[in-house]
């Protein structure tokens, strides 16, 4: 009997994965990872050169990402089928051998593995290894603490409505916003309404070689979906 081990790989720099993650991926006989059509995926990229000889790779390619609106029932159906099918496949392998699922960041913080996890509850033994989150890699890249003392930290997705983004941005000390991409203009308007725009940083690919740290109000072009916006808390400091 084997098990399914989902290991967080950290924010991007391979040197930031945990000792446990490194041992798991360098000795695994089966690894699985999510990726989009035409992209290898960050998870697989992070472990490049570290997998054992003879490993079997299971590339779990999303059937759809942004081609269909998330509100279309077809989107939900396609993804449910995809997760059902991979839960079955990985569950079968785990009857005999361990499978290591590679996840960038921290698996239980907005990770995709949870959709397999919920389907594997009574099917296989599952273990989760936490990782340094992408947002931590990004706030470390700004060179300033994200929270001090009794600061309240809000983490939200730029997919929310402009009104909700503005209200929440105004009503917190420190702020992290993910899933930006095409939501950038909406997010910028919301941050301006909340009086936080001039204090917002935008980090692309934190801890990776292409890392880019900018003030939000100096950005003119587009930003990737996986960029992260940050407002640092200003709490108590003796």
Tell the residue number behind the tokens 């909406």, with chain if given: 186
Examine residue 14 and tell whether it contacts its own copies (CB under 8 A). Answer: yes
Examine residue 83 and tell whether it contacts its own copies (CB under 8 A). Answer: yes
Choosing from 55, 155, 170, 213, the residue that interacts with its own copies (CB under 8 A) is 155
Examine residue 85 and tell whether it contacts its own copies (CB under 8 A). Answer: no
Least distance in Å: CB of 157 to its own copies? 5
Examine residue 33 and tell whether it contacts its own copies (CB under 8 A). Answer: no
Give which of 105, 113, 75 is closest to 178, Cα–Cα. 105
Examine residue 228 and tell whether it contacts its own copies (CB under 8 A). Answer: no
Residues 108-147, one symbol each (x = binds its own copies by CB under 8 A, - = not), give: xxxx--xx-xx---------xxxxxx--xx-xx--xxxxx
Choosing from 156, 184, 187, 202, the residue that interacts with its own copies (CB under 8 A) is 156
Q: For residue 129, give both structure tokens.
A: 């290894």
Least distance in Å: CB of 57 to its own copies? 22
Q: Which stretch binds its own copies (CB under 8 A): 70-78, 93-101, 181-189, 212-220?
A: 70-78
The CA-atom distances, in angstroms, between 149 and each of 146, 153, 154, 232 are: 11, 11, 15, 12
Please name the helix (run of DSSP H) or strand (run of DSSP E) that holds residue 100, with its range, or none.
Answer: strand 99-103
DSSP type of residue 133:
-
Choosing from 42, 183, 200, 207, the residue that interacts with its own copies (CB under 8 A) is 207
d(CA 161, CA 234): 26
Examine residue 12 and tell whether it contacts its own copies (CB under 8 A). Answer: no
Examine residue 106 and tell whether it contacts its own copies (CB under 8 A). Answer: yes
Tell the residue number behind the tokens 């041992």, with chain if given: 23
Q: For residue 5, give both structure tokens.
A: 């081990």
Please name the helix (run of DSSP H) or strand (run of DSSP E) that holds residue 132, with its range, or none.
Answer: none
**Closer CB to its own copies, 41 or 145, in the complex:** 145
d(CA 159, CA 220): 20
Q: What are 7's strand-pairing partners?
A: 102, 129
* Pairing outcome for strands 200-204 and 228-231: antiparallel
- Number of residues forming the site for its own copies (CB under 8 A): 62
Give which of 218, 222, 205, 207 is closest to 143, Cα–Cα. 207
Binding site for its own copies (CB under 8 A): 8, 10-11, 13-20, 22, 70, 75-76, 79-80, 83, 106-111, 114-115, 117-118, 128-133, 136-137, 139-140, 143-157, 159-160, 168, 172, 179, 207, 236-238
């Amino acid at each position: 009997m084997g098990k399914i081990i989902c290991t967080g790989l950290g924010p991007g720099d391979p040197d930031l994965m945990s000792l446990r993650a490194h041992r798991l991926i360098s000795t695994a006989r089966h690894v699985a990872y999510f990726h989009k059509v035409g992209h290898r995926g960050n998870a697989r990229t992070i472990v490049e050169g570290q997998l054992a000889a003879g490993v079997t790779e299971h590339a779990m390619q999303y059937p759809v990402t942004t081609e269909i609106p998330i509100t279309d029932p077809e989107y939900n159906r396609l993804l449910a089928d995809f997760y059902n099918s991979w839960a079955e496949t990985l569950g079968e392998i785990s009857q005999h051998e361990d499978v290591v699922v590679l996840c960038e960041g921290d698996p239980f913080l907005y990770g995709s593995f949870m959709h397999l996890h919920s389907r594997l509850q009574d099917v296989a033994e599952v273990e989760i290894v936490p990782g340094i989150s992408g947002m931590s890699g990004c706030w470390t890249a700004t060179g300033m603490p994200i929270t001090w003392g009794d600061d309240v930290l809000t983490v939200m997705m730029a997919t929310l409505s402009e009104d909700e983004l503005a209200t929440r941005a105004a009503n917190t000390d420190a702020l992290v916003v993910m899933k930006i991409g095409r939501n950038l203009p909406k997010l910028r308007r919301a941050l301006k309404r909340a009086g936080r725009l001039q204090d917002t940083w935008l980090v692309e690919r934190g801890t990776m070689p292409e890392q880019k740290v900018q003030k939000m109000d100096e950005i003119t072009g587009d930003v990737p979906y996986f960029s992260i916006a940050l407002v640092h808390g200003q709490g108590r400091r003796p």
